[in-house]
Chain A
Amino acid sequence: MTVTDPAHATGKAIPLIQAVQAINWNRIQDDKDVEVWNRLVNNFWLPEKIPLSNDVQSWNTLTPAEQQLTMRVFTGLTLLDTIQGTVGAISLIPDAITSHEEAVYTNIAFMESVHAKSYSSIFSTLASTPEIDDAFRWSTENVNLQKKAQIVLDYYTGDDPLKRKVASTLLESFLFYSGFYLPMYWSSRAKLTNTADMIRLIIRDEAVHGYYIGYKFQKGLEGASDERRQEIKDYTFNLLFELYDNEVQYTQDLYDGVGLTEDVKKFLHYNANKALMNLGYEPMFPKDVTDVNPAILSALSPNADENHDFFSGSGSSYVIGKAETTEDEDWDF
């Protein structure tokens, strides 16, 4: 496949929805639409709220090569968020089963644009204009980055609604993670911690997006014939393999110089499994290649530590946790 041919992407138009009905939020066909809408609204944030300038000192402790890597990773993420905001989430609207689902996609699309913009906030806080321009130039010239954008764009402009949802879920739940790894890595070394806080907000949003689009995919598959199910399953795994191969090369491009490639790959496997599960498929990568570096996992989630569990930790050291900040008024005790 040729990758940087611009006519390739623009050759097919994305269909717009044909008819619109006034959306009635007082008559709900799928409770999941309201639940996810509310979650997305509760999670809403803007980059201006994050004190990124507190990272300037930390940024200056990185070597020039580390700074360049970080800039490149973030322009790569900017490209994916731009695709998802401008094309991906929008392309799902015509296939929506309910009008509330359409509204959720518009929320997802807007939030992706917020994510894309938030990287620019990082750039303007930490780097000079020539450095920023260099990084954006790199993003248009890097073959593997352009290829992953192209693969996904091709499916968004294709005519199969379920395949669009698969591509979208793989983007939300898998393709971002070669990039997300790096701010988690810096955070685990107490570097760029405010930037990492912002990335965690993005990661949280992507989880809801991947969950929701994956759920709608499974709903769409419910009435399908066995042949159709097999076709979609084969397509999903083929696309995942295609994206994975490219992702490994992209990862090598970026991370070989700092010796982190193998560590990043484990993070990719771990997230590929979760992307498959969001689509309702069994995880594919076995335990011995998904054992993400514990420092990265705990930068992602401080609770992910196995010792928090009674079964997996040593039972004797287990203490009942305290979750005080989370009173819900519905509890009677």
Chain B
Amino acid sequence: MTHLIYFSSVSGNTARFVEKLGVPAERIPLFPSDEPLHARDPFVLVLPTYGGGEGRGAVPKQVIRFLNDEGNRSLIRGVIATGNTNFGEGYCLAGDIVADKCRVPLLYRVEVFGTPDDVSAVQDGLDQFWTQQSTTSR
């Protein structure tokens, strides 16, 4: 069963995309004072890319904090990134960075909050991916 963990800033584009997918999802909290999220099951991470600045700061701090927790990190299986091609080489860079650091595949890139075609591609993709995961890992 697909399980998502996502981060979305107050502008809410990533949250909106995740809602459209209609699968169980938990949100990484926005503020350092909030109770940190601890993953309990394998998950796919959905995160936005903060553009510009030659790639520094592309991954939201909240996501870095979440992944610095080894328990959380051990359960990540894949990444989906949102972004904007206007950022050139920085397009969805946060997805590349997390995929590289956690040694998991970058599954898909979405612009802003995604078109209806993105939603169905990701829904289908996640179903297949999760089926593969459960047959290969256990």
| Partner-B contacts on A (CB < 8 A) | 30-32, 35, 39, 42-43, 200, 203-204, 206-208, 211, 215, 218, 273-274, 277-278, 282-283, 287, 290, 297, 300-304, 308-312, 318, 320-326, 328, 330-333
Contacts and interface: CB of A to CB of B under 8 A. Distances in A.
A322 B116 CA distance: 30
B100 A35 contact: no
B107 A204 contact: no
Given A35-B9, A287-B117, A300-B85, A309 B106 contact: yes
Contacts of B10: 30-32
A189 to B, nearest CB: 18
Majority secondary structure, B binding face: helix
29 contacts: A30-B10, A32-B11, A35-B50, A39-B51, A39-B52, A204-B87, A207-B87, A208-B51, A211-B11, A215-B11, A218-B11, A287-B117, A297-B85, A301-B87, A301-B91, A302-B88, A303-B93, A303-B96, A310-B105, A311-B121, A311-B128, A320-B100, A320-B104, A321-B99, A321-B100, A323-B96, A330-B64, A331-B101, A333-B101
A35 B106 CA distance: 26
A322 B108 contact: no
A326 B52 CA distance: 12
Contact of A333 (B56, B73, B84): B73
Given A207-B87, A208-B51, A326-B55, A274 B101 contact: no
A323 B52 contact: no
B105 A331 contact: no
Given A320-B103, A331-B64, A303 B89 contact: yes
A200 B89 CA distance: 10
A278 B65 contact: no
A308 B109 contact: yes
A328 B56 contact: yes
What 5 pairs between A and B have smallest CB-CB spacing? A311-B125, A207-B86, A42-B53, A326-B55, A277-B112
Contacts of B101: 331, 333
B97 A326 contact: yes
Nearest to A284: B115
A215 B68 CA distance: 30
Given A311-B121, A333-B101, A208 B52 contact: yes
Interface of B: 9-11, 13, 50-59, 61, 64-65, 67-68, 70, 73, 78, 84-93, 96-97, 99-101, 103-109, 111-113, 115-117, 121-122, 124-125, 128-129
A250 B113 CA distance: 29
A318 B105 CA distance: 8
Nearest to B125: A311
A174 B87 CA distance: 16
Contact of B106 (A42, A206, A302, A321): A321
Contacts of A303: 85, 89, 91-93, 96, 109
A297 B109 CA distance: 14
A145 to B, nearest CB: 23
